[in-house]
Structure 1
Amino acid sequence: MLHLLNLLAAISLLVWGTHIVRTGVLRVFGESLRQVLAKSFSNRLNAMVAGIGVTSVVQSSTATCLIVASFVGKGIVSTTAALAVMLGADVGSSLMAVVFSFDLSWVSPLLIFVGVVTFVSQQDTGAGRVGRILIGLGLITLALHLIVDATRPLTQSPAVRALLVALPSDILLDIVVGAVLTVLSYSSLAIVLLTATLAASGLVPTGVALGLVLGANVGSGVLAMLATGRASAQVRRLPVGNFLFKAAGALAAIPLLGQAHILLQEFVGDVHQQVVIFHLGFNIVIAAVFIGLTGFVARITEKLLPTRAVGAGTERPRHLDPSALATPSLAISCAAREALHQADVVETMLRGIMPIIRNNDVALAEQLRQMDDTVDELYTAIKFYLTQISREALSERESRRWTDIVSFTINMEQIGDIIERVIQDVEDKKIRKNRSFSDAGMAEIAALHERLMANLRLGMSVFLDGHARDAKKLLEEKARFRDMEHEYAASHIARLRENTAQSIETSSLHLDLISDLKRINSHICSIAYPILESAGALSKTRIRQSRFAALPPEME
């Protein structure tokens, strides 16, 4: 029992080591990886080379698949080019298996020692994040040696040997077992290395090991499909196409396994090396055979997963791509785009206030009130999406952007609530009672509304670009708007003294309206706080902590 527990712990350490390396690399090179992939789709060969390079660094063909699938979903790259990238990604993953199959016993303690020292001493720097990667690499090599030590006693167990006797008789069963293990561990690299170690220890016959390797390749394709199961049809095409490559390759390899085993025994003496070389050779052959068929398979996936027409008026979340969560830098961009979508809905609501006031449009009032539900739903969706992003894989700048998006969406959600109350007040106190503002009062409200629309557009620009100059300009609008509110409130009181009938009838609504517009403007101007704080340009009399920037303006 103790030996089995040690084996499970070693396997867990292997999976955890690959996770640390993957998240560490994405944190250090995340945006660069996106740029490399985005610029490498000029032809299929370049795309395949890009897939090899990126996956060799990330150590996960599944992670590469999720990155590229999100590009396909956004129309940045065609499915044909993306499939070429995935053929290279599978070769890159198998190359890493070959690297880790060598005797690296002396490397493990060195990597862990250097990595820990670097990470602890310079945790918040680029060097510290590289140290994290070194720790992960050290844990991978250490886990492989622990697996060897843990399996050695198990090879002597008659019960274990009897359990494995049935496996060589059914290659399809071997493939299924390998695929299931890969899905459970979320790492085909870990399962291939584990299989090679077990085969070298004599616990698993080499023929069974080759079947398990085929299953690991199929399992990695299943993993990507599961990860994108709730994404759009465009996003799911790449995982499906990649799975078709792997499944077809595995089926074609079944009758050739015996001959492949003989060739490996003839040219490669070490059993461990036989397994990893077979894994590499399988993926190289798949890439060579199918690189010319990527267009054909892309058309098949397009027929299997046709694009569904989306109505122009739909306001559901458009940019929160679940497959992008594997790449935090890409997920942050998706969340920012959805936040701007939320702001567009708020802008539509704000623009509709004046037609309701001027025309007593009850139907439009009802439509805009319903849009507040959309704003709330988008806020909830964005917030939930952000919580799914791995904070440990974010750089310092991306962490600030994460906070900026939260602050922005909170302000948009609260603006939507205020607009809904404004519309309800106009309907209750003006439309139903058949009252009208005075000409002067209407002009004042229109002037405030026009300034508010301009400030909202400026706020969206500040959120998108993050320019400190525009953020300062937006913050200055807060004082200007407050002065306008005071001026117009005084003018209204003057009209009351003159016994202007319309002003008397709508006095309460008028004062509440300009007060609510001021509150909306305060929320808009709050967008500038985190931008100015990041630039070090926020006055000492202003809020200094970025977490406070998300609070409602009335709590400042």
Structure 2
Amino acid sequence: MELLTLIDLAGSVALLLWGVHMVQTGVQRACGARLNSLLARMLGNRFQAFLTGLGITAILQSSTATGLMITGLAARGQLDLAPALAVMLGANVGTTLIVQLLSFDVSSIAPAFVLTGVILFRRSQGAWRDSGRVFIGLGLILLSLRQFLMLLSPYTHKPELTAVLASMNSHDLAAILLGAAITWISHSSVATVMLVTTFATSGTIPLETALALVLGANIGTSINPVMEGSRTDPTARRISMGNLLVRCVGALVLVPALPFISALMARLEPDAARQVADFHTLFNVGLAVMMMPALTQYARLMLRLIPNPQESQQSSPGKPLYLDRLLLDKAPQLAIGSATREAMRLCDLLGAMLSAMKDGLRTTDPNKAGAARPLGNAMEDLGAAIRSYLAGLDPDTASQPEMERAEDILAFCTQMLHAEDIVERSIVPMVQKMARQRIVLPPDLLRPVLSMTQQLSHNLNICATVLLGRQTQENNPLSGQKDFFRDVEIEATAAYFERLRNQSTEPGSALEQGDAALVGETATYQLTLLRDLRRVNTHIVAAASYPLVTEDEQLFLGKEAPNAPAPSAGEPSSVAPSIKADTES
């Protein structure tokens, strides 16, 4: 086989994959949110879950995309493992439908699909434009397969190729491994099964070997989610590994029966292409029939095989837990949901830093407040991971609202990290300095600081609620908190000067006894802490000001979001500017 022919074959496979990608992205752009909503509603029982997985995969032409959607629901606690595995059984059947269609000669309608898609894409907007992408993708799939088979047909009777394939006769395990390897490399079970169909139709390989190659293709298409999926999310690993294990066991069970099955199918269906396609479908239907009654027990087995990590977050709080890069191209909406979950962890880490600072105010041990520093480093690491993850979103795959949502999450993270800078670089060193000097604020000076800290923790909870899109007030729910912090600072400043005036006019006061410096230094610490806590609140309010919810959940209900305040002059920052530039409030 010439090098040019190999390049042509590789190009045909690449065109097939690109066609599948266009179908998937077109469907997701046109009705991605509705598909997720439908998926969440139709999982009441295993049978519904199976049919839902079958239908969505038939539309998306990708069991991987369906698996990612299911993983997102399961990771959020909206779906148990047993129905998730039922969806994957349905998805496995759904991927066989395109092979059933292509087993007939439908390549002649490919130009009509492409023409229809181009017209819709160029003349329409919104969902119709995205439908044009779907038609173009379907046309490319048919064209690529026709080109692939045309290029391969002259070589089906080549002695060299025939000798290689003949060596697998009566070696079904070797054929299974070869089929799995080809599918894993090409990332397409459709291409592998159509290749097998070509060999079987031309008589290059016997039907038994063709069926073994199909079993390998089913295993190979389940390997990719395991290899490319998140290694830190146990939910994703259970679903992908559970699906792979079912197919591996099913294939091994059928190996001894392949001679009988091939003879039976040869009697029932004379067309070799139909024999391969029907076996591909019947294998996955058979797995579903056998596994559906035992899914509860199988889910328990997967939970034992892949348990939840016990101390992953405590031992490494800055390590992302939910960022799966496979979601970026396959399911951008779920990728944004994963980034949102990580952004909420920034709120938790900042709250823990404030708690450590508060503990340090009550003691002369500098290590109490110093416990906030590792948390600050973890926030910076996590923020960098979120930025890097969202930068990987493809504008061609994600819709415009999804890209805007990603920008809002980046802006949210930027404000959280500005607040972290203030706590780590200003507040914590000051509290540690006070501890080393054996200075503890008296109750009347400590009370405003603790009041601000408590309010900051409350504001962080509200900020996290806004991030989740559960806040429906017309205005930013934290906008009034600026007045509270300003009033506390003004009252503390007035009390400080009032105390100085009283001490300067009373005989035997601290000023006359030489304690004025100590009184002034203690009050200065308090006022500086109050000022810095107020700055922290400014960034929390700014984070809650971004329109972080979808159009049907608009936080500001027809009102523009308040502009986020820019950091004050000279304020340290550990993060790069977000996509949206901060403006003065």
Residues 11 and 143, structure 1, Cα contact 8 Å, conserved in 2? yes
- Between stretches 439-448 and 44-53, larger displacement belongs to 439-448
The alignment partner of 1:526 has SS state of: helix
Cα distance in structure 2, aligned partners of 1:426 and 1:541: 31
Give the conservation status (yes or no) of the 8 Å contact 1:218–1:247: yes
Residue 393 of structure 1 aligns to a residue whose secondary structure is coil
Deviations 1:219-248 (A, max 9, x none): 122223223461344432233332232122
Deviation at 1:142, TM superposition (A): 0.9
Q: Secondary structure at the match of 2:478?
A: helix
What amino acid maps onto 2:353 in structure 1?
Answer: M
- 1:101-140 map, 5 Å: 101-122=103-124, 125-140=126-141
Distance across 2 between alignment mates of 1:510 and 1:543: 24
| Equivalence map 1:25-424=2 (5 Å) | 25-122=27-124, 125-155=126-156, 157-201=158-202, 204-228=205-229, 230-310=231-311, 313=314, 315=317, 317=319, 319-320=321-322, 322=324, 326-424=330-428
**For the Cα contact (< 8 Å) 1:233–1:307, is it kept in 2?**
yes
> Which residue matches 1:513?
529
**CA-CA distance at 1:140 after TM superposition:** 0.5
Alignment gaps of 5+ in structure 1: none
Between stretches 177-186 and 474-483, larger displacement belongs to: 474-483
Q: Following TM superposition, by how much is the alpha carbon of 1:494 offset from its aligned partner in structure 2, in angstroms? A: 6.6
TM-score after normalising by structure 1: 0.87
Taking the aligned partners of 1:491 and 1:59, their CA distance within structure 2 comes to 70
C-alpha spacing 1:495/1:549, structure 2 compared with 1 (3 Å): farther
| Paired residues of 1:241 and 1:301 also in contact (CA < 8 A) | yes
Matches of 1:196 and 1:380 in 2, distance apart? 48
- Report if the CA contact (8 A) 2:387-2:410 is conserved: yes
Give the Cα separation in 1 of the matches to 2:306 and 2:67: 17
Describe the SS at the equivalent of 1:163. helix
Letter of the 1:5 partner, please give it: I
Selected match of 2:559 from 537, 540, 550: 537
Counterpart contact for 1:328–1:393, Cα < 8 Å: yes
Quote how far apart the aligned CAs of 1:217 are. Answer: 0.7
Equivalent AA in structure 2 for residue 49 of structure 1: L
Tell me how far 1:409 sits from its aligned partner.
1.8
Counterparts of 1:439 and 1:77, CA distance in 2 = 50
Higher normalized helix content (fraction of residues): 1
Shift of residue 402 of structure 1? 1.6
Partners of 1:90 and 1:283 within 8 A in 2: yes
Instruction: Tell me by how many angstroms 1:316 deviates.
Output: 5.6
Identify the match of residue 523 of structure 1 among 531, 539, 545. Answer: 539
Between 1:210-219 and 1:472-481, the stretch displaced more is 472-481
1:94 positional shift: 0.9
Contact 2:86–2:292 (8 Å) recurs in 1: yes
Q: 1:456 to 1:90 in 2, by over 3 A?
A: closer
Higher deviation after alignment, 231-240 or 126-135: 231-240
| Residue deviations 1:179-209 (CA, integer Å, cap 9, x gap) | 0111112222232233223433555554432
Alignment CA distance shift 1:144-1:525 (3 Å): same
Distance 2:66 2:174 in 1: 28
When residues 538 and 50 of structure 1 are mapped into structure 2, their CA distance, relative to the original with a 3 A threshold, is closer
SS in 1 for 2:293: helix
- Contact 1:22 1:59 survives alignment (8 Å): yes
Structure 2 contact 200–206 (Cα < 8 Å) conserved: yes
Tell me the CA shift for residue 215 of structure 1.
Answer: 0.5
CA contact (8 A) 1:101 1:272 kept: yes
How much has 1:211 moved relative to structure 2? Answer: 1.8
CA drift at 1:522? 2.1
The 3 A distance-change label for structure 1 pair 442 and 85 is closer
Contact 1:44 1:81 in 2 (8 A): yes
* TM-score normalised to structure 2 length: 0.83
Shift of 1:177: 0.9
- SS at the partner of 2:107? coil
2:436 is the alignment partner of 1:432? yes
* Bigger shift: residues 163-172 or 276-285: 163-172
Instruction: State whether residues 231 and 321 of structure 1, in contact with CA within 8 Å, keep that contact through their aligned partners in structure 2.
Output: no
Residues paired across the two proteins, number: 553
For 1:281 and 1:542, how far apart are their aligned partners in 2? 58
Does the 8 A contact of 2:313 with 2:319 survive in 1?
no
- The CA deviation at 1:156 is 5.4
Task: Describe how 1:444-523 pairs up with structure 2 within 5 A.
Answer: 444-465=448-469, 467=471, 469=473, 471-478=475-482, 481=485, 485=489, 489=493, 492=496, 501=516, 502-506=518-522, 509-523=525-539
User: What is the rounded CA distance, in whole Å, between the counterparts of 2:519 and 2:156 in structure 1?
Assistant: 93
- Asked if 1 retains the 8 angstrom alpha-carbon contact of 2:327 and 2:335, the reply is yes
How many Å apart are 1:213 and its aligned residue? 0.8
CA deviation profile, 1:410-458 (whole Å, cap 9, x unmatched): 2222212211123433235422223455776545544544544443333
Q: Are the counterparts in 2 of residues 467 and 531 from structure 1 also a CA contact under 8 Å?
A: no
Q: Percent identity?
A: 33
Q: Would the alpha carbon gap of residues 520 and 256 (structure 1) be closer, same or farther in structure 2, given more than 3 Å must change?
A: same
Separation (CA, whole Å) in 1 of partners of 2:544 and 2:245 = 49
Contact 1:60–1:187 at 8 Å: present in 2 too?
no
Asked if the contact 1:24/1:130 (under 8 Å) is kept, the reply is yes
- Conserved in 1, the CA contact under 8 Å of 2:542 and 2:563? no
Contact kept in structure 2, 1:119 and 1:128, CA below 8 Å = yes
Kept in 2, the 8 Å contact 1:530–1:549? The answer is no
1:311 shift after superposition: 7.7
2-side partners of 1:298 and 1:452: how far apart?
42
